Structures are given as structure tokens and as C-alpha cells.
Structure 1
């Protein structure tokens, strides 16, 4: 059943509301081009000087990893959960030929920025691009409304992975596919949240939530999705991210501890995929 237009959404956690609202993380130079992700750096020479073109390419390439994992997308209806400024929605439209892309985000300020950033595309592609407010745990769409659901570096913020999995299973048509990229703990050791909070400000404040990747794959399976699996892309993410951060942050500062946490096998970066089984 579709959720009503006047649906009230779960309250945003304070760190999420501030980071993507007044603080506007997309303005930070470390996230060049309006994308907000760590990047996929395979094929980029990390020994050469890195500038905005390389940084933007890394973020586009992370989206391409996810879109290709969900594809082929030509002629399909695609939902992005946690769309931010909608840069990935625009990339999907420009490169993958879907029938339409819906960018969903819980933060109204992000949606306002997305509509401003893509005003020309919204006018030029009426009906093919839209931005809608919704929560990962409560999506304002009908059952089976999408052929593919994607999410890029947002799942670490989702407070309830089981609810996200259930909603994904609901809004996907039979045979539809999910692809998610994000960072998770590598196991369910009970001291992982404390270790990460001690290393990384984003975990300390609650912006990022420390959970094992198996929590997501298990939730997807419990929601009725098939072939839920996680593939590490850490070697193509963490060294490049740390090299880019080194332009702005000295060794020992907390942002550089992402690579340290990866090196210590506390966290890794994954592409998670699953499929809604066909009918019959």
C-alpha cells in the first residue's frame, strides 16, 4: 500500500539533520562536484597530483559501480534512497537510459538543493526525474513501483536496516534488483562500535552507525529478497580516499583514521546486492 502524501517520517537523528542541513556537507571541498561519497579510485593514478577532476571522477565511478550492479537499467524505473543533491540521479539519466529516476531523501533541505541544482534537467526531462521526501524505513511509494533500488553511501546512516530491507522488498517489482554501496564493520564483535567511536568523529557523534555488513544481507534475506550478498571494494576505495584526504588533513587527525580502521580490519567498503524473486 502506498504511503500517503501527508505521511509523517521518522525523526532525523540530530547529527544527520545538522550535517546535511545547516552544515551542508556538500559545500566541503573534500566532496567536490556536489557528490558526497568517498569515491572509487581504481584507474586513477594516486601517485600523480590529484585535483577536482580526479575527485569528481572517483565519486562518479562509485555511482557507476552501483548502477552497473543494479543494471542493466535501460527503460527501467530507478529509485535512489538517500539521493542528497541528486548528482547520481543525473548521472544515471545521462549514462544508463532509464525510463525515469526518483531521488528520495529524508532531509527537506537536501531536496531543495537537489531541485535547484537540477532545475534545467527537471525542465528538460519532464517525468523522467523527480525528487521526493521519504525515509529509508518508510518510503512513500506503492508496491512494486520500481524496477531497481540503489543507494550510495547512505546506509551507514539508516537507523533500522530491517525496515529498509522490508521497504525495499515492497517497492521493488518481482525480478527487481537492489544495489547499495556503503561502509560497515567486518564482523559483529561487540567492541567494534566503541573502537570506531574512539577513532572517528562521525561514529562518536552518531552520524555513522557501526554495524556488520551481515546485518544488512541478513535483513534483505529476511525481507524475502534473494541472493543477498556483499562484495568488498575496499582496495579501490580506502587508499584513494586517504590519499585525497592527505591534501587537507595531517596524519593522526581523525579523518585519516578511516584508512587506519580499514587497515585494522574494523571496517570495509561493500557493494551489497539482492533481487526480489520473480512471481511463480
Structure 2
């Protein structure tokens, strides 16, 4: 067993693949990702024909955040959004979008990687200097959130859950830090269905380097919805966004000279039923006590 293997067994430790890709490799600098966002995008209404531009790509990334934030809506009591937590905030540009376009009093961005948080502080220097009480950037793991019980009105995560090693611990954390009546929304990619599919995991590792390296974990979407329900959250729903994500992303990738071909296999894997992109929402019941 190596030192890295030992490190990864600790709850809340940074997996080695995550440590590299979001550290010295700086995934946000890759041509696939533009504008500081690190997501595959939500492409509805974006240039249905012809070549896609960098501006189209940034718009798709912003639209994915809007799709998630819109799903949060007002809380179960019809109150304004209040305080929000983004789990896996990366460079924090999604937090800034949430503060700019939605009526949050404050947004806390949490990320496990210190390099990402350093980049987030630089990317949001003006916001942090001007209204520092509205944006807080905190280091923490999805499985061990360093916050008080019922601290947030809403919790969201955009394309980070595919990295989480313990969905049950993440779900319990969401239930704990949400106040009664609060809502959680998670957007990420999973294997369709409720049951573990070893053959799908093996094939994804063959087709997609992010699964082969251990950066992404091939789990059924039912693992997340089941974990949220087991944690005491209610009205758990999973909606497929695949048709609005993979074809548009592939069209954009077609116009890039990446030097590798495997990212184009996300669309093929979606069409073959091995992978889909989901928006999962869940509510903390108003009568639930800590």
C-alpha cells in the first residue's frame, strides 16, 4: 500500500486523481472548459446548427448553473432563498452567478482542493473585496461538511458528485446542514438505473479516461437518490438532462483539436445507455428535527 493509498482511506481525504487534475493539472485551463466554469454545459437553445463558438460554450456552462438554481426555487414555505451552499465550487464563478442573478443573501462555496480555493479567491477578488459577507469560500469535503446544523436554506452541487467517494455521507451532510423546509439540488452524470452495473463500469473505464483513472466513479443514479431518501430527505426526484448536455458538448468538441479522442465517447456512452446526466432534487421536511 502506498502513502497515497493510505491517505485516500481517510474520510474527507483528496483522492489522488482529484488531487492531480484540480491541482497542478488545473482542469479549468483545458480548452474544453471556458470562462472559469468546469461543467459540460446545458445546450438548449444554443445555436442548433453550424459550428459552436467559445461564447456558446460559456453560455452553456452558465445555463447549466441556471438550470440547477431554478430547480431549487423558493423553499417549501415560499420564503426567499436566503443562504446557499455550493458543494464542489471549483473556481467559485457559479457562486458569483448565483449572487448576481438570484436573490440569495449569501453563498458559501466549499471545495476539497486548496488549489481550487486559491484560484476561486483570485477569480472573485472584486466580489470578496466589495461585499465579503455575501461570498464565503471554505475548504471541506462533501462527506464531512464543516458547517453547523441547519445552517443553509439551500444546498446545490454542479458536476462534482461524480467524484464523491461516499454518497451516503454526502447525503447525510446535506440533510444535516439544510434547515427544515430547505432543498438540495445535484447535477452530475451517473449510470442509469437503481442497481450497480459492473459491466457498465468496466466499459466506461475502457471508453473514458476519467473513469479509467479513478477521477470519476461509475455509480447508478439510484445510489444518490437512495442515499438522499435514507438520510431523511423527501420528494427525491431525478430528471434526465442527457439530451440537453451530451449532443451539444460533442458538437463543441468536434471543433476542437484536443489531441485525444476519448471525450467524444461521452455521447456514445449516453446513446448506448451506459451513462446519463441527471438533475436530482430533494427537500428537507419542515417537521424534521435535528
TM-score range, shorter chain: over 0.9
Residue number in structure 2 paired with 1:94: 100
Residue 180 of structure 2 is aligned to residue 178 of structure 1: no
Shift of 1:47: 1.5
Residue number in structure 1 paired with 2:46: 44
Check whether the contact 1:147–1:176 (CA below 8 A) recurs between aligned residues.
yes
Q: Distance in 1 between matches of 2:219 and 2:91?
A: 26
Shift of 1:120: 0.4
- In structure 1, list runs of 5 or more residues that go unmatched: 1-7
- The worse-fitting range, judged by mean Cα deviation, of 243-252 and 112-121 is 243-252
Check whether the contact 2:237–2:281 (CA below 8 A) recurs between aligned residues.
yes
User: Which of the numbers 125, 146, 151 marks the counterpart of 1:145?
Assistant: 151
User: Deviations for 1:23-70, whole angstroms, at most 9, x for unmatched residues?
Assistant: 000011210101000000000014122111111100000000100111
Check whether the contact 1:250–1:256 (CA below 8 A) recurs between aligned residues.
no
- The worse-fitting range, judged by mean Cα deviation, of 269-278 and 249-258 is 249-258
User: Deviations for 1:129-168, whole angstroms, at most 9, x for unmatched residues?
Assistant: 0100000000000000000000000000000000000000
How many residues are aligned here? 273
Matches of residues 198-213 of structure 1 in structure 2 within 5 Å? Answer: 198-213=206-221
Residue number in structure 2 paired with 1:117: 123
The SS at the match of 2:198 is: coil
Residue number in structure 2 paired with 1:20: 22
Residue 279 of structure 2 is aligned to residue 271 of structure 1: yes
Residue number in structure 2 paired with 1:164: 170
- In structure 2, list runs of 5 or more residues that go unmatched: 1-9
TM-score (norm 2): 0.91
Residue 138 of structure 2 is aligned to residue 135 of structure 1: no
User: Which of the numbers 227, 238, 259 marks the counterpart of 1:219?
Assistant: 227
Q: Distance in 2 between matches of 1:251 and 1:131?
A: 35
CA 249–185 in structure 1, closer or farther in 2 if over 3 Å, else same: farther
User: Which of the numbers 90, 93, 101 marks the counterpart of 1:84?
Assistant: 90
User: Which of the numbers 245, 249, 258 marks the counterpart of 1:241?
Assistant: 249
TM-score (norm 1): 0.94
User: Deviations for 1:82-134, whole angstroms, at most 9, x for unmatched residues?
Assistant: 00000100000000020100000000000010001101001111211010000
Q: Distance in 2 between matches of 1:234 and 1:253?
A: 20
Q: Distance in 2 between matches of 1:75 and 1:182?
A: 22
Q: Distance in 2 between matches of 1:163 and 1:32?
A: 31
Residue number in structure 1 paired with 2:72: 70
Shift of 1:251: 11
Check whether the contact 2:51–2:255 (CA below 8 A) recurs between aligned residues.
no
Residue number in structure 2 paired with 1:4: none
Check whether the contact 1:249–1:255 (CA below 8 A) recurs between aligned residues.
no
Q: Distance in 2 between matches of 1:252 and 1:87?
A: 27
Residue number in structure 1 paired with 2:34: 32
